[in-house]
Structure 1
Amino acid sequence: MLMSEALTEDYYAEGLWRRDATLLDDLRAAAREHPDRRAVVVYHVDGREPDSVTYAELAAAVERMAAGLVGLGVSRGDVVTLQLPNCWQLMALTLACARIGAIAGPAPTIYRRRELSFITGLTESPVYIGAVGDAKFSYAELSAEVAEIVPTLRHRVLLGAADQPADTPGLAGALDLETTLLGEKSAPGSVFGELTDDEANPEDVAYVMFTSGTTGEPKGVMHSFNTLYATNRAQANVLGLTGDDVTAMGAPVTYNAGFTWNFVMPLVLGATAVHLDAWDPELMLRVLERERVTFFMGAPPFLVDLIVAQREHDRDLSALRSFATGSAPIPPVLVEDARDELGCRLYALWGMTENGAPTITRPEDPPMRAAESDGRPMPGMLVRIVDRDDVEVAPGEVGRLQVRGAFQCLGYFRRPDTYAASVTGDGWFDTGDLARSDGNGGIRIAGRQKDMISRGGVKIPVVEVEAALLRHPGVKDVAIVGYPDERLGERACAFAVADGTAPDLPALTTHLDALGMAKQYWPERLELVDALPRTPSGKVQKFKLREHFGEG
């Protein structure tokens, strides 16, 4: 952990970190004060009745699962791989790991043999916990294949295994989650170990989460209970959220956005978190209405989906006050549509797995600020914009975005040199993003350093061009990447998803000209696509677009 003792003492003194409490204490407090309040509600896209657990039920399940993990031989410091869809068991297992000093290892359900064998091998995970699968994909078979590759993976525990025929491929040698980790002590197949008081401390690693891979190079980010608390407490305070709120989310909990905004934050508050086990905008609309959801977090694609669905179905969303979004430019029309169609205020944020959400726009800002800024620093975080020599640039100039503060992760799992290379001598983390000041004390993201396009020496502000193109009525979604050019080095190509009649390149450049954008910034090639490649959390995977030109 590249953080000075002086800084950590400051975080304790300012109440950003806690000396003697973790998420387990938040759970116990909620179970004591509001035992019958629903902690987690999960709706299923296949039409099954929703699952829900109260805080009292969740606390009991955590104790039982913790005993089961001990019985499976999980020790303090072990990483338990959790490849589950959104379900209450995922949240309970994460807390059960903390109960015995183990580390949760959330793994996205999109991971296949290559990715899963890599992360379980690197973490030397002894236990894999996932779902059996469905008609589209078998996680039972996937986990069996990985267990053959990774020698430390001793146990596979599968949700729903007991409901499948014994000869189902991949089930041989696997354990059923309900039987093994939730069954009565005397029940056949249940597993119990002796629990002690040696649970996780606030400074311990809470999870190892691998980056979503927009660069194609995932790294295992380690957060402590304190770094998670700092970001989630701050974002709740800034947006005025309390235990009376009902939260919902577009992204899976196995991604940092879903993990923080719709698991950790409501847990810290003692609020109710509502989930879908897979994304379905029409179902989510019904859920927002039925559950009286007050706060939603999701990348712009989730917001667009909900706006389109609401225009068709007109649900009662009068409880919904706030919608936080990030990871892509927000055109002004989305701010207006969120207000007019969903009846909520839109907030723009910037963040990454390494540090949660260091910046966000505020309730006291003009509503349209969400289309102009990525927010001001959160309490507990500092940001600066520097040149290649780590000297701060003049206001309005684009430079490298660096951050420092209580939200910052502990490092990359078993890759200390890689993390150290991203941290300056005085503790500033180089995010890999480019930004400029927004003129109001905040930042405006200008793109990723590796996504910057240099056209004959002219640096193209990719994010600003994308935001401008999104204002064209024929553009539903867009991403700009560079492609090789013998004369200029690079030129810009726009990959666009049409909204109705597809525009051609002259229509887009005429649009940019009318907006007063410099000609050197215009894309010189247009590729129309049905959809942009995105991670489940909504980030565009530009490395896949560059593969179109034979680049990684």
Structure 2
Amino acid sequence: MEFDPVLIAPRRRQMRAQGFWPDRTINDYLAACLAERPDQEALVGTNSVSGEETRLTYRQLAERAERIAGGLVRLGIGAGDVVSYQLPNWWQFTALYLACARIGAVANPLMPIFRHRELIFMLGLAESRLLVVPRVFRGFDYQAMAKEVQAEVPTLERVVAIGDPGPEGFEAVLMAGAPVAGPAPTGPDDVTQLLYTSGTTGEPKGVMHSSNTLISNLLPYAERLGLGSGDVVLMASPMAHQTGFMYGLMMPILLGARAVLQDVWEPKRAAALIAAEGVSFTMASTPFLNDLAEAVVAGGLSLPSLRIFLAAGAPIPRPLVQKAKEGLGAAIVSAWGMTENGAVTTTKLDDPEEKAANTDGCCLPGMAARVVDAGGREVPRGEEGRLLVRGCSLFAGYLKRPEWNNTDAEGWFDTGDLARMDAEGYIRISGRAKDIIIRGGENVPVVEIEGLLFKHPSVAAVAIVGFPDARLGERAVAFVTLREGTSLTFGEMTEFLAQQRIARQYLPERLEIVEELPRTPSGKVQKFKLREVAQAFSPTTA
């Protein structure tokens, strides 16, 4: 497979001169763990299908990765070949990435929610040679689907299933032979990860990352949060998403820490894992924070080991920050990032509480951000504009689509987000550029109204989008999920928002109660799907 990481070369000299690119790979950090702490527990995971719990030391994890690497080599897979795997947060996920890194193959994790249409496109674009899946997960037959997909993807030579005891099974194909003893001469600027965007706007793009772009994010991230080898990281966000991959798989190995994996999100189970394993840090999207806080409060639980919950993926509603801090007893850190960058901004541990409630943080070392108007000129602090970022953890480019890279001659990447920046350089994401609602020439502050409506005691989640109107151009509809045993009428919603003293022009003009909001696996609301529903609405207020 030929890759085109065109965004690497223009930054190489500057990033190395400034010390942001360490020129190391995951192989180097795993070797350090083997030298310094071979018998320390590295990973704890449970397979919810089999009920099997797996505990691996760094020595055992490395041995399994070497054995899988040997299996890959026997299949003819080598440097530059793409290995795709659609797996939950199981130990095999981590070991597969380490095996790929050992032989120079490119890891292509795929979200478990994907089905035939998405997989055929993604595997075809990546020219994947191998697909690893669970035989069954959450009642779905992944092995059967993968076989059907294989017939549609010419490059896909092999499907291997975890949980299949036969000759197509993971153990027989990838674990049965001799291990690969040493790492391949893979460079830190070579593509090591191919990850598809999670789909908040419909069409996925293949995001390429090198070891340098990934690791240059993880090191300052861990330093800002004071994380080290003594920490225990819970990862319940899917590792096939950048959050899980970078901060649940890679970061513990870089730190020599311990990772605790949860394959199906269940807040009571997460609380039990935190208590039993002494978890000190976790990162997930805002809905996970809300779920965990509610489970802990409802159960009268105490989680003294948990120091930090970093929430990203969507702004944290102000009431949730206080509820979570009181319920969990942990520092609540707000962050913003993308598949293309990892976490770009976070709040700091010594920031006042209102920073986590009112901002998405300031840039990590090595990254820079600016907010600009339609003409590319920086707007005054506090004003809304398009968010641009650049720096060490910016991706290597979109696979086979360099025309979509959306960077200018100075390296600024247009994120597609709207934001405001305060006097101290902290940003607040105010929406997506395509999420703007313009009602009668007036921009509706969507994120602010969503945050206010979230305060209503009946509201569990909310997303506001526009629908067409002949006179005003657009009107706003609020899609709301309710807390159990509660109700909400349109009149009650508007009365509640009016009590918040906002302009009447900002009030949603329609309320839709739904069972759940469409989300990406990382928790981001897929507003493009809600807009599709809203297209059929007439401009009524009832």
**TM-score past 0.5 threshold:** yes
Alpha-carbon distance, 1:439 to partner: 3.8
Q: Which residue of 2 aligns with 1:533?
A: 518
Over 3 Å counting, the alpha-carbon distance change for 1:282 and 1:200 in structure 2 is same
Q: Deviations over 1:170-223 (max 9, x none)?
A: xxxx621112222254xxxxxx7x766533211111110001101111100001
1:14 aligns with 2:18: yes
User: Could you tell me whether the CA contact under 8 Å between 1:338 and 1:346 is conserved in 2?
Assistant: yes
Aligned: 1:240 with 2:226: yes
Alignment partners' CA distance in 1, 2:8 and 2:94: 32
Query: Could you tell me how far apart the structure 1 residues matched to 2:121 and 2:49 are?
Result: 31
Decide which of 461, 465, 471 is 1:481's aligned counterpart. Answer: 465
Which is worse superposed, 540-549 or 371-380? 540-549
Q: 1:492 aligns with which of 476, 492, 517?
A: 476
Structure 1 residues 195 and 121 mapped into 2: Cα distance closer, same or farther (>3 Å)?
A: farther
Kindly provide the CA deviation profile for residues 62-85 of structure 1, in whole angstroms up to 9, marking residues without a partner as x.
211111101101121111011111
TM-score by length of 1: 0.93
Aligned to 1:355: 341
Determine the structure 2 residue equivalent to 1:170. none
Quote the residue 1:189 is aligned against: none
SS at match of 1:238: helix
* Deviation of the 1:389 alpha carbon: 1.1
- Cα distance in 1, alignment partners of residues 254 and 102 from structure 2: 16
C-alpha contact 1:80 1:128 (8 A) present in aligned 2: yes
- Amino acid across the alignment from 1:337: K
Q: CA separation of 1:272/1:203 partners in 2, compared to 1, >3 Å: closer, same or farther? A: same
**Which segment drifts farther, 175-184 or 483-492?**
175-184
On the 8 A contact 2:282/2:309 being kept in 1, the answer is yes
- Partner Cα distance (1:156, 1:195) in 2: 25
Aligned partner letter, 1:130 = V
Residues 129 and 156 of structure 1 are in contact (CA less than 8 Å); yes or no, is this contact kept in structure 2?
yes
- Per-residue CA deviation, residues 352-389 of structure 1 (Å, 9 max, x unaligned), is 10001110111121023111001011111000000111
Alignment of 1:141-540 (within 5 A): 141-162=144-165, 175-185=168-178, 198-419=184-405, 422-499=406-483, 500-540=485-525
Tell me how far apart the structure 2 counterparts of residues 118 and 359 of structure 1 sit (CA, whole Å).
32
Preserved contact between residue 419 and residue 430 of structure 2 (Cα < 8 Å): yes
In 2, the alpha carbon distance for the partners of 1:300 and 1:234 equals: 22
Matching residue of 1:95 = 98
Task: State how far apart, in whole Å, the 2-side matches of 1:195 and 1:424 are.
Answer: 43
> Does the CA-based 8 Å contact 1:44-1:278 persist in structure 2?
no
The Cα offsets for residues 335-359 of structure 1, whole Å up to 9 and x where unpaired, read as: 1222211111101101110001110
Length-normalised TM-score, structure 2? 0.95
Q: 1:356 to 1:45 in 2, by over 3 A?
A: same
Do the aligned residues in 1 keep the contact of 2:71 with 2:177 (CA within 8 Å)?
no
In 2, the alpha carbon distance for the partners of 1:347 and 1:45 equals 29
Secondary structure at 2:73 match in 1: helix
- Tell me, in whole angstroms, the C-alpha distance in 2 between the residues paired with 1:6 and 1:225: 16
**Which residue pairs with 2:116 in the alignment?**
113
State how far apart, in whole Å, the 1-side matches of 2:302 and 2:503 are: 44
Query: What is the deviation of 1:274?
Result: 0.6
Given the superposition, is the C-alpha separation of residues 340 and 127 from structure 1 closer, same or farther in structure 2, using an over 3 Å criterion? same
In the other structure, the counterpart of 1:130 is: 133
SS across alignment from 1:407: coil
Structure 2: how far apart are the matches of 1:22 and 1:285? Answer: 33
After TM superposition, give the deviation of residue 327 of structure 1 in Å.
Answer: 1.8
Structure 1 runs not aligned, ≥5 long: 167-173, 186-191
> Could you say what secondary structure the match of 1:105 adopts?
strand
Counterparts of 2:441 and 2:236 in 1: how far apart (Å)? 39
Distance 1:513 1:474, change over 3 A: same
Cα distance in structure 2, aligned partners of 1:135 and 1:23: 31
Q: Which amino acid aligns with 1:395?
A: R
Does the 8 A contact of 2:463 with 2:480 survive in 1?
A: yes
Between 446-455 and 312-321, report the one with greater CA deviation.
312-321
Please say if residues 231 and 280 of structure 2, whose CA atoms lie closer than 8 Å, have aligned partners that are also in contact.
yes
Aligned-residue offset at 1:2 = 4.9
Contact 2:342 2:393 in 1 (8 A): yes
**Per-residue CA shift, 1:514-539, capped at 9, x if unaligned?**
22222222111110112111112111
Distance in 2 between residues matched to 1:365 and 1:501, nearest whole Å: 36
Q: 1:378 to 1:274 in 2, by over 3 A?
A: same
- Following superposition, the deviation at residue 494 of structure 1 comes to 0.5
Q: Is the 8 A contact 1:286 1:315 kept in 2?
A: no
Shift of 1:3: 4.4
Alpha-carbon shift at residue 11 of structure 1 (Å): 1.8
Equivalent residue pairs, number: 531
Alignment partner, residue 57 of structure 2: 54
SS of match in other structure, 1:149: coil
Call closer, same or farther: CA 1:484–1:107 in 2, change over 3 Å: same
**Matched position secondary structure for 1:435:** strand
Contact 2:477/2:534 (8 A) holds in 1: no
Counterpart-to-counterpart distance in 2, 1:145 and 1:198: 33
Alignment match, 1:188: none
* 2:151 aligned counterpart, secondary structure: helix
Distance 1:121 1:205, change over 3 A: same
Corresponding letter in the other structure for 1:8: R
CA distance in 1, matches of 2:350, 2:300: 29
Report the equivalent of 2:540. none
Distance of 1:372 and 1:306 partners within structure 2? 21
CA contact (8 A) 1:332 1:371 kept: yes
Counterparts of residues 16-55 of structure 1 (less than 5 Å):
16-19=20-23, 21-45=24-48, 48-55=51-58
Q: Is the contact made by 1:24 and 1:98 (CA closer than 8 Å) also made in structure 2?
A: yes
Q: Per-residue deviation at 1:95?
A: 1.4
- Partner of 1:388, secondary structure, is coil
Shift of 1:121: 0.7
* Aligned-partner Cα distance in 2 for 1:236–1:88: 23
Letter in 2 for 1:452: I
- The question of whether the paired residues in 1 share the 8 Å contact of 2:129 and 2:157 is answered with yes
Distance 2:78 2:54 in 1: 30
1:140 to 131, 140, 143: 143
Distance in 2 (alpha carbons) for counterparts of 1:544 and 1:240? 39
Query: Does the CA contact (< 8 Å) of 1:329 and 1:466 recur in 2?
Result: no
Structure 2: which 5+ runs fail to align? Answer: 537-542
Instruction: Answer yes or no: is the 8 Å Cα contact 2:143–2:161 preserved in 1.
Output: yes
Task: Check if 1:79 corresponds to 2:97.
Answer: no
1:543 to 522, 528, 532: 528
Query: SS of the residue aligned with 1:454?
Result: strand
What's the CA shift for 1:259?
Answer: 0.7
State whether residues 250 and 299 of structure 1, in contact with CA within 8 Å, keep that contact through their aligned partners in structure 2: no
Taking structure 1 as reference, are residues 132 and 449 closer, same or farther at Cα in structure 2, changes over 3 Å only? same
* Percent of aligned pairs with the same amino acid: 46
Q: For the aligned residues, what is the CA RMSD? A: 1.7
**Cα drift, residue 477 of structure 1:** 0.6
CA distance in 2, matches of 1:309, 1:354: 33
